Amino acid sequence: MRAFELYFERLEAAGLGNTKRPDLLVFKKFDKSFVDSFLKDIGGEGELPFIPENKLHDLISKAVVAVECENSLWIAEKMPDYETPMRAQRRLGGKLGFAKTAVLPTVIIKEEDRAPLNKWQVENKVPIHVWHVFFDKAYGISFDKAQQLVDDGLILPTEQIFQDPGGATTKKAIYKYYYHYAYLLGIANEKPQLVSEFIEDKNGHILPYVRFEGGSLEFASEVLTVLKELK
């Protein structure tokens, strides 16, 4: 818990406490020596979260894509509506989709993240994609396509409850993009382990959770095509 607090204290001190950035930058192998040298000069990749964009321009400009990363504790292929075709929905004005109660793999973007991610993409001129990892599979979608699906009324916001490390819960609007609109990112060729952990807050309240550990994902040929077409 203290390490968690220190991380955000450093963000605040750097003036980046309220800054939303993608989680991952992907580079061409050709630029590896430049990236390695840049990271060495700033003290390692662990320092990246605390450095403002204007000092990272040379690094960011080399990126092929920036990735917003999400994960879900679900086995995609066992979800009840996996491989169920979309049908016309009254709530979508007759457009194809699923009922609100449908349970299937989706790529998720929070409403509160849409504007800052769009701002980051415009200012840095690097396309953003969202990669969502499940226990057995992973899917990706471009941020621009996700925005267009919302604009076209094909994806509507839903409300979800989130719990912070201190135990408090909040309701947030999220967009759940059916995997039918996404590309296959990869399939697990070595399943991860599910590890139990807990966080204890300053009042002694314990918040248990489960996380992935280990495992490996084999990229789908589809995602390699997507990356090659980006730049």
Give me the percent of the chain exceeding a pLDDT of 70.
97
Which of 10, 28, 6 is closest to 19 using CA atoms? 10
SS3 content of the chain, % helix, strand, coil (to 5): 35, 35, 30
pLDDT value for 209: 85
Which of 113, 79, 117 is closest to 98 using CA atoms? 79
Q: Which residues contact 77 (CB under 8 A, 6 or more apart)?
A: 136, 137
Which of 215, 225, 224 is closest to 188 using CA atoms? 215
What is the rounded distance in angstroms from the CA atom of residue 97 to the CA atom of residue 154?
7
pLDDT value for 23: 94
Instruction: For residue 14, report the phi and psi dihedrals to the nearest 5 degrees.
Output: -85, 0
pLDDT confidence band for 165 (50 / 70 / 90): low
Query: Is residue 163 pLDDT above 80, yes or no?
Result: no
pLDDT value for 157: 94
* Residues 127/65, Cβ–Cβ less than 8 Å: yes
What pLDDT, in 10s, does the model give residues 24-69? 999 999 999 999 999 999 999 999 999 998 899 999 999 999 999 9
Give me the percent of the chain exceeding a pLDDT of 90.
73
**pTM for the whole thing?**
0.89
What pLDDT, in 10s, does the model give residues 107-118? 999 999 999 999
Residue type, 140: G
Which of 52, 69, 53 is closest to 61 using CA atoms? 53
Query: Is residue 7 pLDDT above 90, yes or no?
Result: no
pLDDT value for 199: 81
Nearest 5°: the CA angle 16, 18, 20 is 90
DSSP string for residues in 14-83: TT-TT----SEEE--GGGHHHHHHHHHHHT-GGGGGGS-GGGSHHHHTT-SEEEEEEE-SS-GGGSTTTT
Query: Is residue 139 pLDDT above 90, yes or no?
Result: yes
What pLDDT, in 10s, does the model give residues 175-188? 999 999 999 999 99
More confident residue, 122 or 4: 122
- Tokens 């066992």 correspond to 78
Overall number of domains in the chain: 1
Query: Is residue 166 pLDDT above 80, yes or no?
Result: no
| DSSP category for residue 184 | E
What is the rounded distance in angstroms from the CA atom of residue 128 to the CA atom of residue 21?
10
- Alpha carbon 108 to its chain centroid, in Å, reads 7
* Residues 171/128, Cβ–Cβ less than 8 Å: no
Residue type, 203: N
Query: Is residue 193 pLDDT above 70, yes or no?
Result: yes
Range of the domain at 197: 2-230
Pairing of strands 216-219, 128-133: unpaired
